[in-house]
């Protein structure tokens, strides 16, 4: 009997897609990774980086590091870099704005272009394809015609519920309407999302929260597997805090989808002495919004992923009052560093965090609840440290290795069901 062959397609690459590829590789199922830019830290490109001035080298290495793909067990990596390289150049120079393209529109173009290319050129001899939201429609449509198993990974809330939540938020805060993406998705993109769900033979999600968004959309429960992402306990770990300042930390895209405006309101109202709110990430708020929160708030733009351990370790608690998520990797990273969490059910953490043990789960859009938990953390530092220890212990039970084992096992089951002629 021949060994099944599955190709994984992801235009950009992120930790969870790389771990999915590794899961398939370890199980001997991965035939090919198809992406735009594939960086190998041990390859020839990394050697030439050393010839660049240090500041330029660090910026380029950081960008490439986000695109690291390493295949094993004989799998191939198929890269199509030129369109993505052009997109990055347009964004870095700001030319996309002069040409009338938003950042999201440039990303949508890359996803759709790669999807079409894979559907036309990369399906021969496959038993399965593993693809992601917004990049699977054409691939799945062509694969179904050839009897290829279509596996879909949805790492964030299904768009219908996400659209409803963000539309509500845009009504509450009209000044944020322009940055709440799901509230204004174009019709063609919505149709792609619907078709991807319909064409998928099986859907992988990281939380029950995402699963429920699919169930509400009428997707059969048997078509969905919930497999939480892993905590990176090998390279994120507890370090001693080097100062006595109470510090609440936010890491991620700094905008209304993440509920950062509620956190800022709560922090401003508390006026805690010898304390700061540290916000790390790309600012997605309208220009000037963060400026009015100067006292006690420190903003740091996007930083290299490798440096995040230092930021987590400088904090007493991570606060993520999100409106729309799947299962944010920053929660798992903070837990690996022994940092407790304040977050909402909409972050998709209810599968991995017990309220009052590894942190607190507060109602969404509730400034008063965020205030109360922050004030508790500020005045109960010993108990908070114990929560951090519990968070690390929980992280040690939620490893990427476990994620890969569970994913590979389920994919094998689905292939077996497909081969036996049954409907998976």
342 vs 169: CA distance, rounded Å: 21
Q: 81-95, 242-256, 258-272, 409-423: which has the minimum mean pLDDT? A: 409-423
43-53 average pLDDT score: 66
At residue 60, the pLDDT reads: 66
What are 256-287's pLDDT values in tens digits?
999 999 999 999 999 999 999 999 999 999 98
What are 9-46's pLDDT values in tens digits?
999 888 999 999 999 999 999 999 999 988 776 666 66
At residue 73, the pLDDT reads: 80
- What's the fold here for domain 246-397? Rossmann fold (3.40.50)
pLDDT higher than 60, residue 74: yes
Beta bridge partners of 150: 129
Q: Tell me the DSSP string of 8-57.
A: EE-SS--HHHHHHHHHHHHTT-EEEEEES--B-TTSHHHHHHTTS-HHHH
At residue 8, the pLDDT reads: 97
pLDDT higher than 80, residue 327: yes
Residue 158 in contact with residue 214, Cβ under 8 Å? yes
359-370 average pLDDT score: 97
Q: Which CATH superfamily is domain 6-229+400-419 in?
A: Glycogen Phosphorylase B; (3.40.50.2000)
Count the Cβ atoms, other than its own, within 10 Å of residue 354. 12
Start-end of CATH 3.40.50.2000 domains in the chain? 6-229+400-419, 246-397
Give Cβ neighbours of residue 198 (< 8 Å, ≥ 6 apart): none
At residue 21, the pLDDT reads: 95
389-418 average pLDDT score: 94
At residue 56, the pLDDT reads: 66
101 vs 96: CA distance, rounded Å: 5
Q: Tell me the DSSP string of 219-266.
A: --GGGEEE-PPPB-TTT-------S--EEEEEES-BSGGGTHHHHHHH
């Amino acid at each position: 009997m021949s060994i099944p062959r599955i190709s994984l397609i992801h235009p950009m690459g992120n930790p969870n897609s790389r771990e999915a590829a590794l899961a398939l590789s370890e199980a001997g199922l991965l035939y090919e990774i198809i992406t735009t830019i594939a960086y190998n830290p041990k390859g020839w490109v990394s050697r030439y980086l050393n010839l660049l001035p240090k500041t330029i080298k660090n910026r380029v290495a950081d960008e490439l590091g986000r695109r690291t793909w390493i295949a094993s067990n004989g799998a191939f990596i198929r890269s199509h870099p030129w369109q993505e390289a052009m997109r990055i150049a347009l964004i870095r120079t700001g030319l996309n704005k002069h040409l009338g393209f938003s950042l999201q529109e440039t990303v949508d173009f890359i996803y759709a272009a790669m999807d079409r290319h894979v559907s036309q050129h990369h399906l021969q001899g496959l038993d399965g394809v593993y693809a992601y939201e917004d990049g699977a429609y054409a691939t799945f449509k062509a694969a179904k015609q050839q009897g290829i198993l279509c596996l879909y990974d949805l790492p964030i809330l299904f768009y219908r519920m996400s659209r409803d939540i963000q539309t509500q938020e845009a009504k509450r805060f009209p000044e944020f309407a322009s940055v709440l993406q799901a509230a204004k998705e174009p019709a063609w993109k919505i149709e792609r999302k619907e078709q991807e769900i319909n064409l998928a033979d099986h859907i992988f999600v990281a939380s029950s929260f995402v699963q429920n968004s699919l169930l509400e959309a009428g997707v059969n429960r048997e078509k969905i597997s919930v497999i939480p992402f892993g905590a990176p306990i090998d390279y994120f770990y507890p370090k001693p805090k080097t100062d006595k300042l109470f510090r609440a930390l936010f890491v991620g895209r700094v905008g209304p989808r993440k509920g950062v405006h509620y956190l800022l309101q709560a922090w401003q109202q508390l006026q805690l002495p010898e304390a700061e709110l540290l916000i790390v990430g790309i600012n997605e708020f309208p220009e000037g919004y963060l400026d009015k929160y100067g006292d006690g708030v420190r903003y740091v733009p996007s930083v290299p992923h490798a440096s995040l351990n230092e930021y987590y370790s400088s904090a007493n608690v991570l606060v993520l009052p999100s409106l729309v998520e799947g299962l944010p990797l920053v929660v798992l990273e903070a837990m690996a560093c022994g940092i407790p969490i304040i977050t909402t059910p909409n972050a998709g953490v209810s599968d991995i965090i017990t309220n009052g043990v590894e942190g607190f789960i507060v109602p969404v859009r509730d400034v008063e609840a965020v205030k109360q938990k922050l004030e508790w953390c500020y005045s109960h530092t010993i108990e908070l440290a114990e929560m951090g220890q519990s968070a690390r212990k929980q992280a040690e039970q939620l490893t990427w290795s476990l994620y890969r084992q569970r994913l590979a096992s389920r994919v094998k089951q689905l292939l077996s069901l497909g081969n036996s002629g049954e409907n998976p």
